[in-house]
Chains A and B, each alone.
Chain A
Amino acid sequence: DQQVKQNSPSLSVQEGRISILNCDYTNSMFDYFLWYKKYPAEGPTFLISISSIKDKNEDGRFTVFLNKSAKHLSLHIVPSQPGDSAVYFCAASATGNQFYFGTGTSLTVIP
């Protein structure tokens, strides 16, 4: 049973525009969330995190928003660049426990 869901398998965005990747979770005990980026033939690399005590965390062009009541988080990339084309995974954990990963969203940024 998938506790972390990314319902959009793919997303295409024009260069310079905003990319919004969404993630939903079912376990109300989750209180720490991560986004990873993965290029083909490589392992995932950490992008940005957020704790449940916050509703927003920003790092350069990347911002993660957390809506605890809706059990929803999103990753915004502004402006999108062709090098951002990759698969993005969200992951969530409850205190002291493992991370559960979503199925990933493949982002294509069109030049």
Chain B
Amino acid sequence: NAGVTQTPKFRVLKTGQSMTLLCAQDMNHEYMYWYRQDPGMGLRLIHYSVGEGTTAKGEVPDGYNVSRLKKQNFLLGLESAAPSQTSVYFCASTKGAWRNNEQFFGPGTRLTVL
């Protein structure tokens, strides 16, 4: 049981480049989430998914797109990276709705946009 895994672990982009972060979970969880963590701030929710084929906006969705084509995978895309998107990105999943369900987090992806 790998839990929640994230690919890649580190990435450096130039402004304007695009990339996709992959999150995978092997716990058959319905809900998946993408967060970003910045210095001096708590984790902030970017987008989330309540099931295969569904996505919804979180607190800070601008500049990101997501897809949940398979239940076990949740992809976060940056179409045109900006320095403000330099952050550590965490993926998480829960068995059901976020309340009363423990969120399992991946190890994070450290992204630097130059």
List residues of A whose CB falls within 8 A of some B CB.
2, 4, 32, 41-46, 89, 91, 93, 95-96, 98-104
Interface size bracket, B side: 20 to 34
Residues on B with C-beta less than 8 A from A4 are: 42
The answer on a CB contact under 8 Å between A43 and B4 is yes
The chain B residue sitting closest to A98, CB to CB, is B45
- Shortest beta-carbon distance, B95 to chain A, in Å? 12
Query: Can you pick out 26 interface pairs between chain A and chain B where the beta carbons lie within 8 Å of each other?
Result: A2-B41, A2-B42, A32-B100, A41-B108, A42-B108, A43-B92, A43-B104, A43-B106, A43-B107, A43-B108, A44-B43, A44-B90, A45-B105, A89-B42, A91-B42, A96-B97, A96-B99, A98-B48, A98-B59, A99-B45, A99-B98, A100-B59, A101-B43, A101-B44, A103-B41, A104-B42
List residues of B whose CB falls within 8 A of some A CB.
4, 35, 40-45, 48, 58-59, 90, 92, 97-100, 102-108
